Amino acid sequence: MFVRTITFLTLGALCLALSASAFPGQQVFRHKGGIHSVPAHVVAENENEKPIRFDGHRVLTVMTGSEEEADHVAKIVEELYLDLWTGPIDISASSSSIDIRVPPALLSVFTSLLPPHLPVSVKIPDVQKLIDSTSNFILGKHEDDFFKAYHTYEDIVVFMKKLAKEYTFVELVNVAKTYEGRDVIGIKFTGVNGTDAYMKKNGVELKKGVLFHGGQHAREWIGPVSHPSTFVIALTAFHHPPHLIRLRYILIEQATLTYMMHNLVTNYGKDDRITRAVDAVEWTLVPVFNVDGYIFSHTRNRMWRKNRQPNTLPFCSGTDTNRNWDYSFGKEGASNNPCSEAYHGHDPFSAPETKSLSEYIAAQENLISYIDFHAFSQLCESGFLIWVGMFPFGQCDELPPKRDFDDLTEASQRATKALRSVHGTSFASGPICETIYEASGSGVDWVYARSGVKYSFAVELRDKGEYGFVLPPEQIIPSGEEVLEAVLTLVEYIVEREEL
């Protein structure tokens, strides 16, 4: 989800002293009077005329045994614009297992730049074959079949419209606008039981509200539909060590949100615990925030992350919307290189998606919680998957006030314990700058600091790396079960702590 800062050097001046002639697969461009060079796979993966294939792309595992070795691998990954499938690379660790996607044209270059004594093995021999083996967008005949596959944005919208039509307490909402002019659709709902008593007790016209969304990064499919085996929950802010490079993501967030909304809506009035939660707060759930990028990841490039907004370099499109928010913009953990996966955009809120969603959030005076679902940060320890609870902010010199800090800590610990109770997954929690890495311009930072939404989180969903971004659909339901349990526990804590 979060990528290290990369200074925007003129693209023809790649480090490691690699010239175009010595760097197979590199392409050279003339643009606005300058000469730029970039690996051919970067140009190909920005192609929007035909679907991109990843035939022959391998995921390699590199084992490092020292800080110097990890630092060296990190620099190679950065300079060759490779995909880091595990991360961040912790250069302070005594040893690291680093998974990297390498295009066939760069395989010999990559391996030749590695110190010869470093062990290298093949984790995934062909990424395209893995994608083909797990592709499934077929909608089944039965209601439960929806959560046995990943779906297009059109299918997800139809799913939400069906809920709004069948349940009178559910309404469709439009929370943002994309660069290509699409509406960002979600649903809003709250229960009717006890509403009058709630209003009388609290003396307000509106219940407190929660807003959860997925799909800020396009390829993280599982967020909108369910959730993989585990995730990292980050309370507003993100930190990384100096050589965090590129993280890629799996089919996670879109799956989580649709699974959640289906269970909350259809079980209201049937399940006592869900009924209490739906009665207690107003829920707004948005499965896909980066709609343009999500559609592009289905139709053109399965690994696409950013939005689809053009940049100054014609062959490097897109802004990382989770680096474009107007809080600590452009600092550590973001890039000013348009070809970077973590490109923060030319100005805060230069992406229409972040600008319009921030305006929607600012107008919701009743919000008390916000969750931004992400995927596949691959923070695994001893083979266990982790939900890591992290606190504000994205820069290490900031922390929330003590009461907020304590409440966020308690909320995170309760949620992780609840999630673990479902399928026995192990979890951890702690401040972000100590637990992961730095990042700037993220949504959770802005929502907490600028809009005053106390219980703001980012949730990282992932598996242990066996499938990387291409998580099998059969993991959707068990993952969704864990996330729903954690979210219900979180809302129950908020109701208790804030005396709602």
Residues annotated as part of the active site = 460
| CB within 8 Å of 452: residues ≥ 6 apart | none
Q: How far apart, in whole angstroms, are the C-alpha atoms of residue 135 and residue 125? A: 17
Q: How far apart, in whole angstroms, are the C-alpha atoms of residue 361 and residue 370? A: 9
Structure tokens at 209: 């509200």
Structure tokens at 407: 């409440």
Spatial contact of 394 and 480, defined as CB atoms under 8 Å apart: no
Residue that is written with structure tokens 């800062």 in the block: 5
The dihedrals phi and psi of 492, each to the nearest 5 degrees, come to -65, -40
